[in-house]
Amino acid sequence: MASIRARFRGALGSFRITPFVGWVGVLGVILLVGVAAGLMVFVKGLSITNLNDLVPWGLWITLDLSSIALSAGAFLLCAAVYLLGLKQLQPVARTATFVGLIGYSMALLALIMDIGRPDRFWHSIVFWNTHSVMWEVTMCILLYFTVLILEAAPILGGAAWFRTRWPKLAGRLQTVHQLAPVLAIVGLCLSLLHQSSLGAAYGVLKARPIWYRPDMSVLFIASAIAAGPSLTVLVSMLAARLSRKVHVDDRLLEKVASFIGWVLVVYLYFRFWDAFAMTYTYAPGRTEGLQLLTRGPLAFNFWVLEIILGAVVPIFILLRPKLRARQVLRMVALALVVVGVVAYRWDTNMAGQLTVVTYLPSEIVTRYTTYVPSLVEILSSAGVIAYGALAITLGVRYLNVVDHRTREAESHVVAPALALPASE
């Protein structure tokens, strides 16, 4: 930390506001506003949100679900490197692990604001109802977050400034790398379970007909497998473009990008049959929920953000070698995948809650309600996103999380690091 501060002081001392300082400054301001909004939530409670008894889950849950989905690159690339033996992807897995760690911490921040009793967050660890999908989700978050911390430990231990200052600790952190294959297996199981369970958390609710279908978990995992690596590759490409110090192997990133294209095809395939099957026969609540998506207030999100921009356009770009090779186009495609999955999570969460199925006798009637997040919800969410962007920015700058030259380097320095003299 001291070293970071010293570098900051150095930057300030020269009185030059570089684009980096400007970017960090802007994120810092948003982060501070977000912290203030978050504190207001803790002090005043959820009454200052626009959540209500008909729509108890809103923007924060979308932020939570999106952060988790966008973290999926970590388990996927670690599995590719350590289980499938695609060692050349190791530097990309390193970036993905860091992005995943930050993503999961963002989800935790969103959740702590969302629960009515943040002071009792530890109850979810101590008191178990193993039948609850939410219990499973909680356990997966906590265990996988631990795995991510362990997987990311060598990144910190490998940073030059850290090694110089605390050589012994750095050495110890780097030895965690030996566990990488085991962590990759554990991470794969936990993460697959977690991503699918988030879909199942909606899918098991019979009271919400538009959610009550077994393929929710399949769709959640498929979209996460597309979106997670997208963010990782996008971050890598952006970092390489914005900083001269960051070096990437574009062939690797292109390879991952084409993989994403194929995953999107699979996702769209599932999505099509899932939606198509629902158009047959009238089912109270479900039909209205689908109409909300295809013709109602969520139609723009559904058709434009989720399907056309979020899947069809990226498939077209990422699966055509000529288009994919153009870096700007590829980055646009990856950004669209990210937007698409966020829109999907938002729309899913909304469709089930905006359609209220009556319980009165006679015929089952569906009523509509509305939800627009309050300013406090928006600002605090912006704060969480700013935190994530800031953490990734600093990670790129000071932890070399995007560096395709250091491949295998970590595994070699394990022993020497212990004896490394305190100079670079």
Q: Between residues 30 and 137, which has the closer beta carbon with respect to another protein?
A: 137
127: DSSP letter: S
Sign of CA dihedral 116, 63, 285, 137: negative
Please tell me whether residue 65 binds another protein under the rule CB under 8 A. no
Type of residue numbered 120: R
Among 84, 160, 265, 325, binds another protein (CB under 8 A): 84
> CA 126, CA 145: separation in Å to the nearest integer?
17
**243 phi and psi angles, rounded to 5 deg:** -130, 135
Please tell me whether residue 373 binds another protein under the rule CB under 8 A. no
Q: Between residues 201 and 318, which has the closer beta carbon with respect to another protein?
A: 201
> CA 252, CA 323: separation in Å to the nearest integer?
16
Binding mask of the shown chain, residues 93 to 132, with x at each position contacting another protein by CB under 8 A = ---------------------xxxx--xx-xx--xxxxxx
Please tell me whether residue 281 binds another protein under the rule CB under 8 A. no
Type of residue numbered 350: M
89: DSSP letter: G
Please tell me whether residue 41 binds another protein under the rule CB under 8 A. no
Min. distance of Cβ 335 from another protein in angstroms?
Answer: 31
CB-count exposure of residue 363 (10 Å: 0-12, 13-18, 19+): exposed
How much of the chain is in helix, strand and coil states, percent to nearest 5? 75, 0, 25
Please tell me whether residue 201 binds another protein under the rule CB under 8 A. yes
Please tell me whether residue 47 binds another protein under the rule CB under 8 A. yes
**178 phi and psi angles, rounded to 5 deg:** -60, -25
Is residue 1 within 8 Å of residue 370, measured between CB atoms? no
Task: Please identify, among the stretches 101-109, 145-153, 214-222, 361-369, the one whose residues bind another protein according to the rule CB under 8 A.
Answer: 361-369
Please tell me whether residue 279 binds another protein under the rule CB under 8 A. no
Q: Which residues pair with residue 366 across a beta bridge?
A: 357
Please tell me whether residue 416 binds another protein under the rule CB under 8 A. no
Q: Between residues 155 and 356, which has the closer beta carbon with respect to another protein?
A: 356
The helix or strand, by DSSP H or E, that contains position 386, with its residue range, turns out to be: helix 375-398
Ramachandran sector of residue 408 (left: φ over 0; alpha: ψ -120 to 50; beta: rest): left
Please tell me whether residue 188 binds another protein under the rule CB under 8 A. yes
Among 23, 40, 57, 274, binds another protein (CB under 8 A): 57
> CA 107, CA 226: separation in Å to the nearest integer?
19
Please tell me whether residue 51 binds another protein under the rule CB under 8 A. yes
Among 82, 98, 144, 259, binds another protein (CB under 8 A): 82
Among 335, 357, 378, 394, binds another protein (CB under 8 A): 357
Min. distance of Cβ 265 from another protein in angstroms?
Answer: 25
> CA 227, CA 4: separation in Å to the nearest integer?
31
Residue of 42, 306, 148, 129 whose CA lies nearest to 156: 148
Min. distance of Cβ 8 from another protein in angstroms?
Answer: 35
Please tell me whether residue 133 binds another protein under the rule CB under 8 A. yes
**By the criterion CB under 8 A, which residues form the site for another protein?**
44-47, 49, 51-54, 56-57, 82-85, 114-117, 120-121, 123-124, 127-135, 137-138, 177-178, 180-182, 185, 188-189, 193, 201, 204-208, 352-353, 356-357, 359-362, 364, 411-412, 414
